[in-house]
């Protein structure tokens, strides 16, 4: 089918669609579902969605459906509300793509329905609700009678979070590829939870449509011209023999070199806008009121006359040059130049030096310095190529470097154990605190680790029971990352034997100077499926211990026992009140 024929059919289809939409029995199709959505940093949270759609319960084969309106509302769980507090978000907006499936007797079709999420201001108290979500289904045509099921299978959210001052909050992605390439938005994939809940939005009973007139018109006569005057350099006037039909011919389609012209029930027309010195193959077919087409007529070959020799003038100057800036780039846009042969591109000049050549009417210049004024002008060129005059030169100043995005602070209490493999007997109890400052955009954090002094039984002096006061002293900030639900951290500390007791009560050595010569490095990682920063979680890791120093007379006994790897740590983090 030619492009022109497709356009004609599409126009007729739109008209029919509008009439059917007005007459369609729009039954209320409703569905309530619960989802588990995965957000950056705060992990998996619940979402309840209510969907309403004016999808009819019955339809006919061969008749396209109109795009039916979808409206929805949603309510987020308490964890989502608390998560907004955590990242400092005050306003939420975005889009949702509902992944649906249309299951008909003779095909299964996946369909995505985009639904707009208007901006919502976080209320003073939960719950967090989203109202006025809207979208529409695509048009569908069913060719076989039977039951058609329309299900909603999953949601994919693309969210924009803002602070109260309107600035965007940048968060690390939870999926490998960002759906829209905008760093100020983040993707939130949602799956049904539980998986086995109802997914059917509507079941449409499709019946066979009326047959009507199926007899096609007769084939029209071959097109011809009346005289040599009917052909010019850019037009051809043709006529043809009339077609007949059992009901009546309503019009004709003239096909010529990939184009189609539709006319009424007449037997002549003039094709215009043609190219000089060009051969056109032309044929005709008829159409009746029921949409039946005849076969195409025999074709005729006609060549247009040569046209006048054109004068190739240079392009005009682009107008309306304007620019917007970031701290390191300028985006320019302008009104297109004109040329009798067409514009092939634009040369962009910065401070008098030619830069990029672009084909459209916009260009982005990158790698600029912040808070700096630059001069820009644009020049068009045609296909010869000839260049035209410059646009008016403008000055654009780049913005200053933005202030760094504020981080958020976490505070946890620590409780757990450490096993000093060769130095102590049994696990050593651990308590303390950790206070972290997390960078939202990357998930990187730095933290202050405080571990309280603890007691342990030492492996020393044969069978004599020796107990020690052990301390852990941070030598550098603890650093790490929270990404894709996994928390990793590296802590550096010295191990100190502050006091030794024989039989657990008799002090035998220790002035607080006995410690490891080199700092230990513990590599920690969260266990479980997802570390929840709102609830805390479990961390496990291992570290090595160096020789001891400053231990006095007992150093020769203790130091060989201390040195070595395979020491483990297992701690639980619970949020501070």
Encoding tokens for residue 68? 């039916």
Chain centroid offset of residue 503 CA: 65
Binned at pLDDT 50, 70 and 90, residue 211 comes out as low
d(C-alpha 360, C-alpha 383), whole Å: 14
Judge whether residue 460 has pLDDT over 80. no
Judge whether residue 27 has pLDDT over 70. no
> Strands, E, within 42-106: which ranges?
43-53, 58-60, 69-76, 91-104
- Which residues, at least 6 apart from 288, have a Cβ–Cβ distance to it below 8 Å? 213, 215, 216, 217, 245, 247, 248, 249, 250
**103-106 contact pairs (CB < 8 A, 24+):** 103/148, 103/149, 103/150, 103/151, 104/142, 104/144, 104/146, 104/148, 104/206, 105/144, 105/145, 105/146, 105/147, 105/148, 105/206, 106/143, 106/144
Q: Which among 484, 486, 481, 411 is positioned nearest to 442, based on CA atoms? A: 481
- Out of 4-8, 133-137, 468-472, least confident range: 4-8
Tens-place pLDDT, residues 401-412: 877 777 788 899
| DSSP conformation class of 110 | E
Compute CA distances 388 → 62, 215, 317, 338, 379, whole Å: 55, 59, 6, 10, 6
> Strands, E, within 440-550: which ranges?
444-458, 466-483, 486-502, 506-509, 514-516, 520-526, 537-545, 548-549
- Which residues, at least 6 apart from 532, have a Cβ–Cβ distance to it below 8 Å? 42, 43
Q: Which among 442, 525, 440 is positioned nearest to 489, based on CA atoms? A: 525
CB–CB of 283/259 below 8 Å? Answer: no
d(C-alpha 245, C-alpha 287), whole Å: 9
Binned at pLDDT 50, 70 and 90, residue 52 comes out as very high
**Average pLDDT, stretch 254-262?**
93
- In the CATH scheme, what is the code of domain 319-397? 2.60.40.10
CB–CB of 347/354 below 8 Å? Answer: yes
**Average pLDDT, stretch 555-567?**
80
- Out of 38-52, 202-216, 469-483, 561-575, least confident range: 202-216
pLDDT of residue 361: 95
Strand partners, 451: 432, 472
**Average pLDDT, stretch 216-237?**
95
- 506-510, 522-526, 527-531: which has the highest mean pLDDT? 522-526
pLDDT of residue 253: 95
- In the CATH scheme, what is the code of domain 228-303? 2.60.40.10
Binned at pLDDT 50, 70 and 90, residue 462 comes out as low
pLDDT of residue 234: 94
Binned at pLDDT 50, 70 and 90, residue 7 comes out as very low
CB–CB of 152/201 below 8 Å? Answer: yes
Judge whether residue 9 has pLDDT over 50. no
Helix (H, G, I), strand (E, B) or coil at 339: coil
Tens-place pLDDT, residues 169-201: 888 887 777 788 788 889 999 999 999 999 999
CB–CB of 376/350 below 8 Å? Answer: yes
d(C-alpha 36, C-alpha 56), whole Å: 30
- Which residues, at least 6 apart from 483, have a Cβ–Cβ distance to it below 8 Å? 172, 443
Q: Which among 56, 51, 61 is positioned nearest to 113, based on CA atoms? A: 51
What's the pTM value of the predicted model, to 2 decimals? 0.57
Encoding tokens for residue 20? 């059917």
pLDDT of residue 512: 65
Tens-place pLDDT, residues 340-375: 888 999 999 999 999 999 999 999 999 999 999 999
Tens-place pLDDT, residues 301-331: 999 999 887 677 899 999 999 999 988 999 9
**Average pLDDT, stretch 104-111?**
87
Judge whether residue 25 has pLDDT over 70. no
Binned at pLDDT 50, 70 and 90, residue 64 comes out as confident
d(C-alpha 411, C-alpha 39), whole Å: 21
Helix (H, G, I), strand (E, B) or coil at 491: strand
d(C-alpha 512, C-alpha 497), whole Å: 7
pLDDT of residue 4: 31
Higher-pLDDT residue of 426, 217: 217
| DSSP conformation class of 24 | S
d(C-alpha 373, C-alpha 394), whole Å: 10
Q: Which among 428, 338, 344, 414 is positioned nearest to 381, based on CA atoms? A: 344
Cα of first residue to Cα of last residue in the chain, in angstroms, is 71
Tens-place pLDDT, residues 13-24: 333 333 333 333
d(C-alpha 38, C-alpha 35), whole Å: 10
Buried b (16+ CB within 10 A) or exposed e, 312-322: eebbebbeebe
Q: Domain-by-domain residue ranges, the chain? A: 24-207, 228-303, 319-397, 408-575
**CATH number, domain 24-207, options 3.40.50, 2.60.40, 2.10.70, 1.10.10:** 2.60.40
pLDDT of residue 14: 30
pLDDT of residue 143: 77
pLDDT of residue 384: 84
Judge whether residue 203 has pLDDT over 70. yes
pLDDT of residue 507: 63
d(C-alpha 51, C-alpha 562), whole Å: 64
Q: How many other C-beta atoms lie within 10 A of the C-beta of residue 281?
A: 12
CB–CB of 267/242 below 8 Å? Answer: yes
pLDDT of residue 24: 37
């Amino acid at each position: 089918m030619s492009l022109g024929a497709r356009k004609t059919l599409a126009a007729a289809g739109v008209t029919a669609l509008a009439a059917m939409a007005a007459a369609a029995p729009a039954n209320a199709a409703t569905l309530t579902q619960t989802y588990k959505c995965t957000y950056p940093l705060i992990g998996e949270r619940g979402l309840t969605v209510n969907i309403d759609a004016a999808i009819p319960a019955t339809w006919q084969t061969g008749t396209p459906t109109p795009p039916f309106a979808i409206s929805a509302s949603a309510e987020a769980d308490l964890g989502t509300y608390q998560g907004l507090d955590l990242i400092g978000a005050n306003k939420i907006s975005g889009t949702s793509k509902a992944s649906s499936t249309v299951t008909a007797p003779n095909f299964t079709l996946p369909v995505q329905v985009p639904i707009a999420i208007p901006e919502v201001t976080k209320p003073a108290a939960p719950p967090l609700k989203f109202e006025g979500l809207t979208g529409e289904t695509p048009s569908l045509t069913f060719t076989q009678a039977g039951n058609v099921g329309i299900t909603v299978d999953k949601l994919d959210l693309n969210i924009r979070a803002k602070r109260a001052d309107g600035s965007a909050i940048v968060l690390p992605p939870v999926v490998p590829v960002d759906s829209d390439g905008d760093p100020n938005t983040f993707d939130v994939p949602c799956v049904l939870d539980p998986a086995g809940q109802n997914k059917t939005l509507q079941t449409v009973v499709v019946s066979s449509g009326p047959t009507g007139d199926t007899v096609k018109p007769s084939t029209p006569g071959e097109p011809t011209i009346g005289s040599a005057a009917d052909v010019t350099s850019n037009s051809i006037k043709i006529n043809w023999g009339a077609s007949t039909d059992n009901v009546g011919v309503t019009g004709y389609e003239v096909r010529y070199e990939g184009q189609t012209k539709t006319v009424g029930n007449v037997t002549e027309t003039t094709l215009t806008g043609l190219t000089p010195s060009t051969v056109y193959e032309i044929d005709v077919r008829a159409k009746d009121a029921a949409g039946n087409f005849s076969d195409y007529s025999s074709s005729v070959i006609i060549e247009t006359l040569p046209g006048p020799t054109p004068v190739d003038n240079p392009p005009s100057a682009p107008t309306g040059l304007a620019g917007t800036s970031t701290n390191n780039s300028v985006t320019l846009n302008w009104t297109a130049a004109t040329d009798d042969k067409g514009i092939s591109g634009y040369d962009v000049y910065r401070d008098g030096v030619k830069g990029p050549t672009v084909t459209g009417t916009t260009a982005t210049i990158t790698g600029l310095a912040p808070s700096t004024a630059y001069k820009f002008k644009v020049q068009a060129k045609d296909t010869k190529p000839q260049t035209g005059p410059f646009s008016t030169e403008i000055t654009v100043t780049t913005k200053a470097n933005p202030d760094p995005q504020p981080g958020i602070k976490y505070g946890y209490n620590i409780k757990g154990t450490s096993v000093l493999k060769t130095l102590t007997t049994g696990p050593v109890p651990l308590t303390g605190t950790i206070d972290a400052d997390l960078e939202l955009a990357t998930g990187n954090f730095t933290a202050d680790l405080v571990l309280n002094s603890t007691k342990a039984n030492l492996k020393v002096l044969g069978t004599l029971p020796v107990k020690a006061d052990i301390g852990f002293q941070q030598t550098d900030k603890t650093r790490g990352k929270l990404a894709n639900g996994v928390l990793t951290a590296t802590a550096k500390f010295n191990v100190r034997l502050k006091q030794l007791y024989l039989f657990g009560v008799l002090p035998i050595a220790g002035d607080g100077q006995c410690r490891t010569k080199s700092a230990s490095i513990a590599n920690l990682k969260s266990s479980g499926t997802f570390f929840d920063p709102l609830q805390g979680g479990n961390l496990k890791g291992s570290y090595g211990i160096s020789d001891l120093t400053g231990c006095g007379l007992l150093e020769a006994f203790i130091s060989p026992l201390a040195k070595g790897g395979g020491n483990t740590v297992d701690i639980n983090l619970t949020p501070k009140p």
